[in-house]
Structure 1
Amino acid sequence: MIMWTIQPYSVYQQLVKNAYFYCDPNKSANWKDTDFRLAYQWMIKQLEVKAARPCNQITTPLWAWYRSHDYRHQRPDFRWSRDYSDEVYIEFDIPEEKVLLSDFEAWHFVLNNWYYSSARSKEEWEQDEKRFDSLSKIEQQHIKERSWQQIFDITPRHGEWTRNGEIVQGCFWLLRLNQVRRVWRLKKGERVHEICSV
């Protein structure tokens, strides 16, 4: 499965040096945010169900793109995101069973701790919300977390109430150098250039 991850250039240097790279949660800006950490912990549990951690040392997944726009499997646009002053876009090939794919837009229901209704019309949504609001806080949390399983449906659907699968992300435990196919470097003030092609 071909995917793309955006990382600081220093990550690529580590990958070349060690022949593998995994996430250090102490260096993750998102991990330091309590709300993000709760959502990430939920996603970690889901990934553990699909793909066991390779070792106890690896606790936090890496993230990558599978579909970046317009329901197509394609590399993200270099102009789309500039998270670091010196970064790389790494194209890699990873076995499907090692990746947990999810709908990027739907992931925001988990990040915001919202209930993800399966309604397909305004009327269904209003009924669903009324039913959800009538539950106790404990029942709501249980139903909410169960509703989040819908984020793993990446089937492309278009429509006002059925939009799904346009942008798809994936998380996985470990990136190996032998999985890398191409690497582009994006350094502030310089043109994008390819630094590796296998």
Structure 2
Amino acid sequence: MKLWTIQSESVYTKFKDTGILQADEKFIYKDMIFHYNWMVKQMKKRVGLATSQEIKYPIWAWYQWRGVKQKKPDLRFSGHLERGARGVILELEVEPESVLLSDFDEFNNVLNYGYIADNEEDFDKFYVDLEKSGYCHYDLQRDDKKNDILSKFKLKFYKSWEKVFDLECEKNEEWSGKKENQSIQATMWEVKWNQIVSVKHFIAK
């Protein structure tokens, strides 16, 4: 499976020295730890445990940056790294069974604590039913409110996040966009030096 991962120049230098690229927890924003931990649980469930207990979080990469016609990230665009930062894009060839693919745009719903609906009707019904039961969206994130009714909504809410991994399902194009335009991200526990196909250095726009 061909993937591309974008890393800073300093991370790449360390990678050259060690031969193994692993995620460093100190670079993860604190307000994203919950979502990283959620992805870790999904990795363990769908890919398996990491090869070392020292590996806490996965490496992120691209399988399909902007649809089937633009799989490789275009470095002429901004947003890959902080503007002006020196980085590298590594083309990788990895074993498919070591990778967990997910819908990048839907994962943004996860990052924003959003309910992932199949269509507009599903979305509206979830929140109408939630409000009829006397709760709001923010109650889904709170741990201090616990009862059977709210627990059922939370279960459905967090279960909806797992739709990010269902890349083959038929979706409502008016709601989710066309499948051929999907942006698909990849997560894996580590990258080894012998998995590199090519390296390109760049300065982020």
Q: TM-score, normalised by structure 1?
A: 0.83
CA distance in structure 2 between the partners assigned to 1:171 and 1:144 by the alignment: 23
Equivalence for 2:37 = 41
Secondary structure of 1:161's aligned partner? helix
1:66–1:73 CA contact under 8 A, matched in 2: no
Greater relative contact order, per chain length (Cα 8 Å cut-off, separation 6+): 2
Secondary structure of 1:69's aligned partner? coil
Aligned length: 183
Q: TM-score, normalised by structure 2?
A: 0.80
> Offset of 1:130 from its aligned partner?
2.2
Equivalence for 1:8 = 8
Secondary structure of 1:116's aligned partner? coil
What is the percentage of aligned positions where both structures have the same residue?
A: 26
> Offset of 1:163 from its aligned partner?
2.2
Equivalence for 1:194 = none
Greater CA drift, 150-159 or 108-117: 150-159
Q: 1:70 to 1:113 in 2, by over 3 A?
A: same
Equivalence for 2:92 = 92
> Offset of 1:102 from its aligned partner?
0.4
Q: Unaligned stretches of 5+ in structure 2?
A: 134-148
After superposing on structure 2, the runs of 4+ consecutive aligned residues of structure 1 that deviate more than 6 Å are none
2:75–2:204 CA contact under 8 A, matched in 1: no
Equivalence for 1:177 = 193
Q: Unaligned stretches of 5+ in structure 1?
A: 190-198
CA distance in structure 2 between the partners assigned to 1:72 and 1:137 by the alignment: 43
1:154–1:164 CA contact under 8 A, matched in 2: no
Q: 1:164 to 1:102 in 2, by over 3 A?
A: farther
Equivalence for 1:114 = 114
Residue 137, structure 1, aligned to residue 133, structure 2: no
